[in-house]
């Protein structure tokens, strides 16, 4: 537990520190995190084979995220190229054991999922750095205190998907994530208090759902961790599972703010 909490603080300070250097530095960091996340999702299914397909996927994610960083706009051609570059190789391989349409759809899916998720984070940062800090604060507080609360007083298992998650820990994480997220947003950004409370509550719950979704992915592939890139966390996605879903839902809330 000690290593996980310390690791969480290191990650939080790393991202907030990069934000303090400006949105461009932060966005470049998010681009790198997005690429690593794609590789982790790729390797959890394919492990060490299909190097050509992995390279093509990485290049597509890089192109989509780099376009958002440089031009801050959507280029639909960059969403068409992955379809061609990741599906057409099934004709080149011409061997369903090496690369088939199911594999192609999986790689295409994670390419779009990771790209859109990290585009959302980059977009939020470009709109308002304080709002970007907000989604990380909600995710960090919810995740950390759900873990701490679960270890201290957790008794009732929340789901078979993630055996370490407990109802008690989740409630503590959601309550504190909502409270601290509300205090931060209301004081540093400002909006209707009831709306901020509701939004923080929804985002905190969504963060826990995101954690469960990625736990399900690992369980589905019979893996404990994505990788050991981040000591004590099993991979980049273990740090971004909550943030990814929070960022996607927060983009919806931005239409009402």
Phi-psi group of 238: left, alpha or beta (phi > 0 → left; psi -120 to 50 → alpha; rest → beta): alpha
Which of 39-48, 119-128, 162-171, 242-251 is the least confident region?
A: 162-171
pLDDT of residue 114: 96
CA–CA dist 47, 50 (Å, integer)? 9
pLDDT > 90: percent of the chain = 48
Task: Locate 215 and state its tokens.
Answer: 């736990």
Task: Locate 149 and state its tokens.
Answer: 């609360």
pLDDT of residue 96: 83
pLDDT of residue 151: 75
Number of domains into which the chain is organized: 1
Domain coverage including residue 124 = 2-253
pLDDT of residue 159: 67
> With contact defined as beta carbons under 8 Å apart, do 168 and 156 qualify?
yes
pLDDT of residue 144: 86
45-65 pLDDT per residue, tens: 886 778 899 999 999 999 999
pLDDT of residue 1: 46
CA–CA dist 208, 199 (Å, integer)? 14
Which of 65-74, 121-130, 160-169, 227-236 is the least confident region?
A: 227-236
CA–CA dist 111, 103 (Å, integer)? 12
List Cβ neighbours of 49 (8 Å cut-off, separation of 6 or more): none
Is pLDDT of 8 > 70? no
126-171 pLDDT per residue, tens: 899 899 999 999 998 998 888 887 777 766 776 666 667 787 888 9
Quote the pTM value.
0.87
């Amino acid at each position: 537990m000690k290593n996980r909490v310390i690791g969480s603080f290191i990650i939080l300070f790393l991202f907030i520190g990069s934000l303090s250097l400006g949105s461009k530095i932060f966005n470049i960091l998010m681009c790198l995190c997005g690429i690593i996340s794609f590789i982790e999702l790729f390797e959890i299914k394919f492990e060490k084979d299909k190097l050509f397909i992995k390279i093509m996927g990485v290049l597509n994610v890089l192109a989509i995220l780099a376009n958002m960083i440089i031009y801050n706009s959507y280029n639909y051609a960059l969403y068409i190229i992955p379809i061609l570059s990741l599906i057409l190789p099934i004709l080149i391989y011409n061997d369903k054991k090496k690369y088939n349409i199911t594999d192609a759809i999986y790689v295409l899916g994670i390419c779009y999922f990771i790209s859109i998720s990290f585009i959302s984070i980059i977009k939020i940062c470009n709109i308002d750095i304080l709002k970007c800090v907000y989604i990380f604060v909600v995710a960090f507080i919810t995740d950390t205190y759900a873990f701490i609360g679960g270890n201290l007083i957790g008794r009732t298992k929340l789901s078979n998907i993630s055996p370490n998650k407990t109802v008690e820990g989740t409630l503590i994480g959601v309550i504190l994530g909502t409270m601290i997220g509300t205090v931060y947003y209301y004081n540093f950004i400002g909006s209707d208090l009831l709306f901020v409370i509701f939004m923080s509550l929804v985002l905190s719950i969504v963060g826990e759902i995101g954690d469960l979704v990625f736990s399900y992915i690992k369980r589905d592939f019979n893996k404990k961790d994505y990788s050991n890139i981040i000591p004590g966390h099993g991979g980049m996605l273990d740090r971004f599972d909550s943030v990814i879903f929070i960022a996607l839902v927060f983009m919806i809330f931005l239409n009402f703010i």
